[in-house]
C-alpha cells in the first residue's frame, strides 16, 4: 500500500500536514533527520507511517512514560501492532513485550531511555529499521528540559548502523539542534524546521500587579472555554485553583507533587471538558492532545522562550482564535534569576531568561520577536499582539532618564531598583535613611512621577541597555557604557508613554 492509502486506512486522514510527506520520503530513503515541528504539528506521523512500510521494527525513544500506554493503545485501535517497554511495567508485562518482539509481532516499540540497555540485549542489529528519538531536546544541556538518561543514546547509531535515525522535537534553537545531532552521531542529518508561526494565537503581556483581579476579568470572557494557567510553584497552583473554585470557576490544580491518580483524573476531566481551567506547573501539558484550549495564561514568567512557546502552543490547536496572556513582574524576574544562577550551566540559563525578559518588555511586535528567536522572520508586524493592537506612544524622556542615571551614579551603583525609586521620589523610609542617600543631589528629584511609573520607566531604561541589574551584587543597578552618552554627551532618550491605570483597566476589560 502506498503512503496516502496508509494515511487514510490507519489514521483516517486525507492529506499530509506541511513537511510530513518530505520527511516520510526521506525516512523511507534511509536518511537520518533532525525535525523541529511545533507541538501539535504532527511529528508522530513522521515515524508511525514509515514504520508500516519498513521491514523491521521501529524503536521510539520517549521520556514520556506516562503517555506510552495511551499512545500504544491508540495505535492498536488504528490497527497498528505496537508495544512499549519501560520501568512502569511489572516483570511479566516486560516479558510479554519481549515475547511479541521475538515473534516479530511488533511494528513499533516505544521505549524509555532508561530501559534501552535492558531491551538491547534482546535485539539483533538487523532487527531495527528506524529509530525515532522523540522530545529530542532532552539530550542537550542547551535545551530547556535536559534528561541525563538521554545522553546514553549516542551509541544507538553504532548498535544499529543500518537503521535510520530521526530526532524530533518542538523546541530547539540552532545551537541545540547542532548539539542534538552531534550527540546522536548524525551530524550529517538533514534538518527540517516547520514554521513556528501560530497566527490564530493572540499574544499579550501585561504587568503582573493585581493578577487575580485581572485573571477574573479575563476569565469572564471565556466562560465556557477551556484554558490552562501556568504558575511557577506548586503552592501557587493550588492557591489559585482554590481561589478560582471559590469564585465559582471550574478549576483544578495539577503539579508533580500531587498523587499520580489525582493528576491523571484532572488531566482526563480537562480533556473531556469536565474541568475547564487547570492551574498547573510546567509538568502539565506535555503530550496532551486537546484541540479546543482557548487560552493559556502565564501567571508567572516562564524561564525561557522555548518553554513559553511550547506552553502557549497548547492553545488553539484547532486553528480557531485563542489567547496567550503573560503576566510580567519584576519579583518573578528576580526569583527566576536566582533559580537560573543556582542551576548547572547557569550562564546559558541566564542568557535565555534575559531573552524571555526582553520579549516581555518589548515595545515592538511580539510575534516578530518570538519567531526571530526560532530564526524565522516575519515580513510585517503581526497585527495580533498587544503591541500591534496598542502601538505605544513615545515621548522625549531625556530629562527623567538623566535624573535616574545620575542618581545611580551618585549612589555609586549600590542601589537596587526599589531603593533608586525611593531616593528619586524623596522617600524617608528606613532603607533610604540607613543608606544615607537622602543627601545626594538627585534625592527627591523625581517626586512628580508615581512609584509605579518610575518602575516602568526604569525597566524600559534597562531594556534599552542604559542600566543593567547586577544579579550577583544584590541586584544593584549599574550604568552601562551607553548610559555615559546620555549623562555626558547629550544623547536623547525616548521612552514609551505608560498608559494611565484607568486606560489599562479599560483595555484589560475590553481584552
DSSP per residue, 95-110: HHHHHHHHTT--SEEE
Comparing CB distances to Zn ion, the nearer of 260 and 377 is 377
User: Is residue 323 part of the contact set for Zn ion (CB under 5 A)?
Assistant: no
Q: Does 371 bind Zn ion (CB under 5 A)?
A: no
Task: State the cell numbers at 488.
Answer: 555626558
DSSP H/E element including 230:
strand 226-230
What is the spatial distance between Cα 299 and Cα 158, in angstroms, rounded to a whole number? 45
Cβ proximity of 134 and 61 under 8 Å: yes
Q: Which x/- pattern over 417-436 shows residues binding Zn ion (rule: CB under 5 A)?
A: --------------------
CB of 324 to Zn ion, least distance (A): 12
Cβ(169)–Cβ(46) below 8 Å: no
Name which of Zn ion, ligand ADP, none residue 43 binds, using a CB cut-off of 5 to 8 Å depending on partner kind.
ligand ADP
The interface partner of residue 42, options being ligand ADP, Zn ion, none and the CB cut-off 5 to 8 Å by kind, is ligand ADP
19 makes contact, choosing from Zn ion, ligand ADP, none, with CB < 5 to 8 Å by partner type, with none
Nearest one of 344, 375, 367, 368 to 144, comparing CA atoms: 344
Q: What is the DSSP letter of 177?
A: H
The yes or no reply on residue 365 touching Zn ion (CB under 5 A) is yes
Residue 81 CA, chain-centre distance (Å), reads: 33
Nearer to ligand ADP by Cβ, of 42 and 56: the residue is 42
Give the integer Cα–Cα distance in Å for 232 and 239: 12
Sole residue written with cell 542551576: 343
R_g over Cα of the chain: 26
Which of 455, 463, 361, 446 lies closest to 406 in space, CA to CA?
A: 446
CA dist 289 and 380 (Å) reads: 31
Min dist. Cβ of residue 245 to ligand ADP (A): 30
Please give the Cα distance from 433 to 156 (Å, whole number): 65
Query: Shortest gap between Cβ of 201 and ligand ADP (angstroms)?
Result: 15
One of 314, 317, 367, 403 touching Zn ion (CB under 5 A): 367
Shortest approach of ligand ADP to residue 473 CB, angstroms?
Answer: 42
State which residue, 16 or 330, has the beta carbon closest to ligand ADP.
Answer: 16
End-to-end CA distance of the chain: 51
Give me the residues paired with residue 230 across strands: 280, 298
Residues found near ligand ADP in the complex (CB under 6 A): 13, 16-17, 20, 37, 39-45, 289
Q: How far is the CB of 74 from ligand ADP (least distance, A)?
A: 9
Q: Copy the grid coordinates of residue 358.
A: 526582553
- Name the segment binding Zn ion (CB under 5 A); options: 209-217, 222-230, 373-381, 482-490: 373-381
Beta carbon nearer to ligand ADP, 159 or 291: 291
Q: Which is nearer to ligand ADP, 16 or 249 (CB)?
A: 16
The answer to the question of residue 370 lying near Zn ion (CB under 5 A) is: no
- Chain centroid to Cα 349, Å, comes to 13
Contacts of 398 (CB under 8 A, 6+ apart): 486, 491, 492, 493
User: Which of residues 13 and 339 has its CB atom nearest to ligand ADP in the complex?
Assistant: 13
* Interacting residues of 347 by C-beta distance below 8 A, sequence separation 6+: none
What are the start-end ranges of the H helices in 374-480? Answer: 386-389, 398-410, 417-424, 430-435, 451-463
Cβ-based nearer residue to ligand ADP, 207 or 313: 313
Restricting to residues 385-404, name those near Zn ion by CB under 5 A: 385, 388
Q: Which does 388 bind (CB under 5 to 8 A by kind): ligand ADP, Zn ion, none?
A: Zn ion
Shortest CB 296 distance to Zn ion, Å: 17
Q: Select the binding partner of residue 328 from Zn ion, ligand ADP, none (C-beta < 5 to 8 A, by kind).
A: none
- Is residue 229 close enough to count as binding Zn ion by CB under 5 A? no
Residue selected from 382, 424, 459, 466 as contacting Zn ion according to rule CB under 5 A: 382
CB of 41 to Zn ion, least distance (A): 22
Decide if residue 369 touches Zn ion (CB under 5 A): no
Task: Give the binding site for Zn ion (CB under 5 A).
Answer: 365, 367, 381-382, 385, 388
Amino acid at each position: 500500500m502506498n503512503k496516502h492509502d496508509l494515511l487514510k486506512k490507519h489514521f483516517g486522514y486525507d492529506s499530509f500536514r506541511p513537511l510530513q510527506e518530505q520527511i516520510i520520503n526521506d525516512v523511507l530513503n534511509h536518511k537520518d533527520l533532525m525535525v523541529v515541528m511545533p507541538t501539535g504539528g504532527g511529528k508522530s506521523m513522521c515515524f508511525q507511517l514509515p514504520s508500516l512500510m519498513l521491514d523491521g521494527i521501529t524503536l521510539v525513544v520517549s521520556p514520556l512514560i506516562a503517555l506510552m500506554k495511551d499512545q500504544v493503545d491508540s495505535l492498536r485501535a488504528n490497527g497498528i501492532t505496537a508495544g512499549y517497554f519501560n520501568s512502569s511495567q511489572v516483570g511479566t508485562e516486560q516479558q510479554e513485550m519481549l515475547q511479541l518482539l521475538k515473534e516479530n509481532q511488533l511494528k513499533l516499540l516505544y521505549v524509555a531511555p532508561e530501559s534501552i540497555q535492558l531491551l538491547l540485549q534482546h535485539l539483533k542489529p538487523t532487527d531495527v529499521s528506524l529509530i525515532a528519538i522523540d522530545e529530542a531536546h532532552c539530550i542537550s544541556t542547551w535545551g530547556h528540559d535536559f534528561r541525563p538518561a538521554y545522553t546514553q543514546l549516542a551509541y544507538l547509531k553504532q548498535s544499529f548502523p543500518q537503521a535510520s535515525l530521526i530526532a524530533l522535537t518542538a523546541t530547539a534553537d540552532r545551537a541545540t539542534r547542532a548539539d542534538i545531532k552531534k550527540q546522536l552521531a548524525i551530524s550529517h542529518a538533514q534538518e527540517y524546521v516547520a514554521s513556528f508561526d501560530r497566527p490564530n494565537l493572540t499574544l499579550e503581556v501585561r504587568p503582573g500587579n493585581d493578577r487575580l483581579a485581572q485573571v477574573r476579568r479575563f476569565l469572564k470572557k471565556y466562560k465556557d472555554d477551556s484554558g490552562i494557567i501556568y504558575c511557577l510553584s506548586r503552592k501557587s497552583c493550588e492557591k489559585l485553583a482554590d481561589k478560582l473554585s471559590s469564585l465559582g470557576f471550574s478549576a483544578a490544580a495539577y503539579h508533580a507533587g500531587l498523587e499520580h491518580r489525582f493528576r491523571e483524573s484532572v488531566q482526563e476531566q480537562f480533556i473531556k471538558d469536565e474541568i475547564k481551567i487547570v492551574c498547573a506547573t510546567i509538568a502539565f501539558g506535555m503530550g496532551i492532545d486537546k484541540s479546543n484550549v482557548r487560552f493559556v495564561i502565564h501567571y508567572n514568567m516562564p524561564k525561557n522562550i522555548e518553554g513559553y512557546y511550547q506552553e502557549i502552543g497548547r492553545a488553539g490547536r484547532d486553528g480557531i482564535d485563542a489567547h496567550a496572556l503573560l503576566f510580567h513582574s519584576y519579583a518573578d524576574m528576580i526569583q527566576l534569576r536566582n533559580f537560573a544562577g543556582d542551576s548547572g550551566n547557569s550562564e546559558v540559563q541566564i542568557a535565555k531568561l534575559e531573552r524571555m525578559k526582553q520579549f516581555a518588555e518589548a515595545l515592538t511586535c511580539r510575534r516578530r520577536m518570538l519567531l526571530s528567536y526560532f530564526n524565522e522572520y516575519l515580513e510585517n508586524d503581526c497585527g495580533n499582539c498587544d503591541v500591534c493592537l496598542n502601538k505605544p506612544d513615545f515621548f522625549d524622556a531625556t530629562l527623567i532618564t538623566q535624573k535616574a542615571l545620575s542618581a545611580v551614579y551618585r549612589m555609586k551603583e549600590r542601589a537596587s531598583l526599589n531603593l533608586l525609586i525611593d531616593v528619586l521620589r524623596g522617600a524617608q523610609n528606613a532603607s533610604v535613611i540607613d543608606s544615607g542617600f537622602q543627601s545626594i543631589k538627585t534625592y527627591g528629584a523625581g517626586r512628580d512621577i508615581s512609584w509605579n511609573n518610575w518602575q516602568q520607566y526604569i525597566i524600559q531604561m534597562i531594556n534599552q541597555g542604559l542600566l543593567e541589574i547586577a544579579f550577583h551584587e544584590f541586584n544593584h543597578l549599574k550604568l552601562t557604557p551607553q548610559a555615559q552618552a546620555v549623562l555626558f554627551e547629550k544623547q536623547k532618550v525616548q521612552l514609551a508613554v505608560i498608559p494611565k491605570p484607568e486606560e489599562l483597566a479599560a483595555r484589560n476589560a475590553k481584552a
